[in-house]
């Protein structure tokens, strides 16, 4: 019973300070963004439509990530408030699990960096000499995404290494769904990914936008590319396919007919996504 009872974790003042600092920076940057748009009358500029079509999918990825982390922080807060031992349920080593303050710290930190990138990249007009936009500011979102990936894969014991590696291990098990016995954290993460389909599509857009060189002229020609459209469907299907395979594995291991019904649900979702892409 002692193992099931949640244990109190010592909170760090530096985490609380960092969370408050980045939350304040986020609020200030949002206010600055609104004032800059109003002062420059950006909504009436000719390049506003082009900006939204090409740059909004780029920055929306960070919006999805921050929103998801904020929701997860809310989950952790209520789990702790009602004394749910989520570290035991998820299989964390006692004392290494993240609290809601740590998740808020990461989410507001990422939001601050993303908003700095947005504010730095509000030019609506091309450089008259070069005929394109400033490469440095156009590459800021890509640099931020690469920074997130580097931090996630960093082997050094910084920024909650145990939690990062736990996420990577669980992600690997989700990808190889039918080869491993499905644990709670596996289908929980896969379920979360089914809600982040648009975020995965944004990652695909990054590859197209920067790989094809559209960022130089701030264009969005990805939709006219057959390869992009094919992977647009594949990327959307992967989370549901992972859950389908998990249901098949659980049906095989547990002989629970409910898993078969769940698998059918995800299969029908894949069909619906295919129909949506076919008629889009």
Virtual CA dihedral for 52, 54, 57, 59, nearest 10 degrees? -80
Would you say 15 and 94 are in contact if contact means Cβ atoms under 8 Å apart? no
Q: Is 180 left (phi over 0), alpha (psi -120 to 50) or beta?
A: beta
Q: Structural domain boundaries of the chain? A: 14-279
Q: pLDDT tens-digit profile of 28-68? A: 999 999 998 888 887 777 777 777 888 888 999 999 999 99
pLDDT band at 1 (very low <50, low <70, confident <90, very high): very low
Angle between helices 100-119 and 140-153 (to 10 degrees): 160
Residue ranges of the alpha helices (H) in 135-256?
A: 135-138, 140-153, 161-175, 184-194, 197-211, 214-217, 226-254
Return the residue matching tokens 């996630």: 152
190 CA to centre of own chain: 13
pLDDT of residue 8: 61
**What pTM, to 2 d.p., does this model score?**
0.89
**pLDDT tens digits, one per residue of 72-113:** 999 999 999 998 888 888 988 877 889 999 999 999 999 999
Dist. CA 172–CA 192, nearest whole Å: 15
Residue 177: which of 95, 96, 263 has the closest Cα? 263
Average pLDDT, the chain: 88
């Amino acid at each position: 019973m002692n193992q099931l009872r949640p244990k109190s974790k010592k909170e760090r003042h530096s985490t609380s300070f960092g969370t408050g600092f980045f939350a304040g920076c986020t609020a200030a940057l949002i206010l600055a963004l609104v004032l800059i748009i109003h002062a420059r009358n950006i909504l009436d500029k000719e390049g506003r439509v082009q900006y939204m079509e090409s740059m909004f999918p780029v920055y929306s990825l960070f919006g999805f990530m921050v929103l998801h982390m904020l929701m997860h922080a809310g989950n952790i807060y209520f789990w702790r408030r009602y004394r749910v031992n989520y570290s035991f349920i998820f299989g964390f080593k006692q004392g290494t699990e993240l609290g809601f303050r740590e998740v808020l710290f990461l989410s507001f930190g990422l939001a601050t960096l993303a908003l700095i990138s947005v504010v730095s990249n509000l030019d609506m007009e091309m450089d008259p000499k070069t005929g394109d936009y400033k490469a440095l500011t156009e590459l800021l979102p890509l640099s931020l995404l690469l920074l997130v990936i580097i931090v996630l894969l960093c082997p050094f014991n910084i920024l909650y290494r145990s939690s990062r590696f736990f996420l990577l291990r669980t992600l690997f098990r989700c990808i190889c769904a039918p080869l491993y016995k499905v644990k709670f954290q596996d289908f929980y993460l896969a379920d979360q990914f089914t809600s982040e389909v648009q975020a995965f599509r944004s990652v695909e857009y990054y590859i197209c936008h920067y790989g094809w060189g559209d960022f130089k002229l701030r264009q969005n020609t990805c939709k006219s590319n057959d390869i992009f459209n094919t992977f647009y469907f594949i990327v959307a299907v992967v989370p549901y396919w992972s859950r389908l395979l998990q249901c098949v594995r659980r049906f095989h291991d547990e002989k629970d007919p409910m898993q078969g019904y769940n698998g059918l649900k995800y299969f029908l979702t894949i069909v619906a996504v295919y129909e949506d892409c076919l008629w889009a």
